[in-house]
């Protein structure tokens, strides 16, 4: 006689089977994520670059006789050259600025003028600034010994920033190479994206989600990161040619401000004041001042041309993405953060707006066993 299987036992057995399968799937997913996590930022950045540059890839491929590989290789070589040459020039400018400062200190000495008496009358912090300045002017050795721990911490922080920038540039070049591979197989990749999105969001929404993600990535990459990079090049080249101290770091600051949607004039105007006050109002310096001031405002002209394209991403989303990405992922996270958060923002609002239709007025809504009309 066969044993009698009650519905409760069958249900518990089926639930146990589902839990075991779900547990195995979860273990596999966690294991795959641990393997891919060291390369996740690099892969995401490569995908962003590939999506952004793919329209150029298509146009260039047609001119080269539909040679996708050659077109991708040409784009990557040009992009690497655009990245490496300005970076090298800015790095040389930073080294030259440090060497010039050390030469001036060795030959002429380092003298700090005493502070004015009026500084001590400033509210709250006036006396502290006056005492610190006075000690720096009269006993610089004792002051340096006093603040040595703070100087060590600041030096470590600067070295960490420099190392992060170098690592970020290296990862950027590697990401460009991977983006070239993605673009060479872009047609197959675009065909694969639709089934994946359809599986995740449904057949009807899959194409719309893919189009939204692509449009958001291109809009943010071109309108935020692209504009910031163009502005850094315009301003940085002028700083280098004019011999502005720490031109490379100032140009990097312009890039960071641009990504965080802050005006570049926070750097360009003080530099203009410094150049005119130290070198005089010569014809060359006046041209430099006008050019740098206009270059600092170039984003106001470039944003309407490159940003938007039917995608509305608020500035706080970009700012949070840049800051959060930089904190979590370093210099590469600074670029990935705004794009990733903008895509998430757009998908969230797409989900919010895509609500099922409400029942029409006068229809019956079954809330309990008793039908209730939704009309008064």
pLDDT in tens, 186-195: 778 777 888 8
Residue 284: inside a domain: yes
Phi-psi region of 310 (alpha: psi -120 to 50; beta: other; left: phi over 0): left
Q: What angle do CA 225, 226, 229 make, to 5 degrees?
A: 85
5 or 346: which leads in pLDDT: 346
Domain containing residue 234: 40-353
State yes or no: pLDDT of 27 exceeds 90: yes
Residue 81: inside a domain: yes
Residue 375: inside a domain: no
Q: What is the pLDDT of residues 130-185, one digit of tens each?
A: 888 887 777 777 777 777 777 778 777 777 766 766 776 777 788 888 888 888 88
Distance CA 238, CA 195 (A): 49
Q: What is the pLDDT of residues 214-226, one digit of tens each?
A: 877 777 777 777 7
- Tell me how far the alpha carbon of residue 127 is from its chain's centroid: 41
pLDDT attached to residue 98: 67
Residue 15: inside a domain: no
Average pLDDT over residues 237-244: 83
Q: What is the pLDDT of residues 293-312, one digit of tens each?
A: 888 888 777 766 665 554 56
Distance CA 240, CA 249 (A): 11
Count of the separate structural domains present in the chain = 1
Average pLDDT over residues 330-344: 76
- Nearest Cα neighbor of 183 from 39, 328, 49 is 49
pLDDT attached to residue 13: 62
What phi and psi, each to the nearest 5 degrees, are found at residue 228?
-60, -40
How would residue 374 be classed by pLDDT, with cut points 50, 70 and 90?
Answer: very low
Residue 21: inside a domain: no
Residue 24: inside a domain: no
115 or 34: which leads in pLDDT: 34
pLDDT averaged over every residue in the chain: 76
Residue 193: inside a domain: yes
Residue 29: inside a domain: no
pLDDT attached to residue 90: 64
């Amino acid at each position: 006689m066969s044993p009698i299987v009650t519905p409760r036992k069958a249900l518990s057995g089926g639930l146990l089977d589902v839990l075991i399968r779900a547990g195995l799937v979860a273990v596999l997913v966690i294991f795959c994520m641990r393997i891919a996590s060291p390369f996740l930022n690099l892969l995401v950045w490569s995908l962003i670059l590939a999506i952004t540059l793919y329209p150029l890839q298509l146009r260039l491929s047609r001119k080269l006789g539909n040679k996708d590989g050659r077109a991708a290789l040409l784009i990557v070589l040009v992009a690497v050259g655009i990245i490496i040459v300005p970076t090298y020039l800015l790095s040389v400018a930073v080294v030259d600025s440090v060497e010039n400062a050390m030469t001036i200190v060795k030959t002429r000495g380092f003298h700090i003028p005493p502070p004015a008496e009026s500084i001590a009358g400033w509210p709250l912090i006036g006396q502290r600034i006056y005492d610190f300045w006075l000690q720096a002017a009269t006993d610089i050795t004792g002051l340096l010994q006093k603040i040595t721990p703070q100087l060590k911490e600041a030096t470590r922080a600067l070295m960490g920033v420099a190392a992060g920038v170098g690592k970020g540039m290296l990862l950027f070049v590697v990401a460009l190479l991977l983006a070239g591979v993605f673009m060479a197989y872009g047609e197959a990749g675009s065909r694969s994206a639709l089934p994946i999105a359809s599986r995740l969001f449904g057949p009807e929404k899959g194409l719309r989600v893919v189009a939204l993600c692509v449009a958001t990535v291109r809009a943010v990459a071109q309108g935020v990161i692209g504009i910031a990079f163009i502005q850094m090049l315009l301003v940085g080249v002028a700083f280098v040619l004019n011999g502005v101290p720490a031109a490379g770091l100032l140009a990097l600051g312009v890039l960071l401000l641009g990504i965080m949607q802050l005006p570049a004039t926070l750097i360009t105007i003080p530099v203009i004041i410094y150049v005119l006050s130290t070198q005089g109002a010569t014809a060359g310096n006046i041209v430099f001042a006008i050019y740098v001031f206009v270059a600092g405002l170039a984003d106001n002209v470039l944003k309407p041309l490159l940003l938007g394209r039917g995608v509305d991403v608020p500035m706080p989303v970009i700012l949070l993405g840049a800051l959060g990405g930089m904190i979590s992922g370093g210099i590469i996270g600074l670029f990935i953060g705004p794009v990733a958060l903008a895509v998430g923002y757009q998908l969230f609002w797409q989900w919010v707006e895509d609500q099922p239709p409400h029942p029409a007025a006068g229809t019956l809504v079954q809330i309990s066993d008793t039908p209730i009309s939704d009309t008064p």
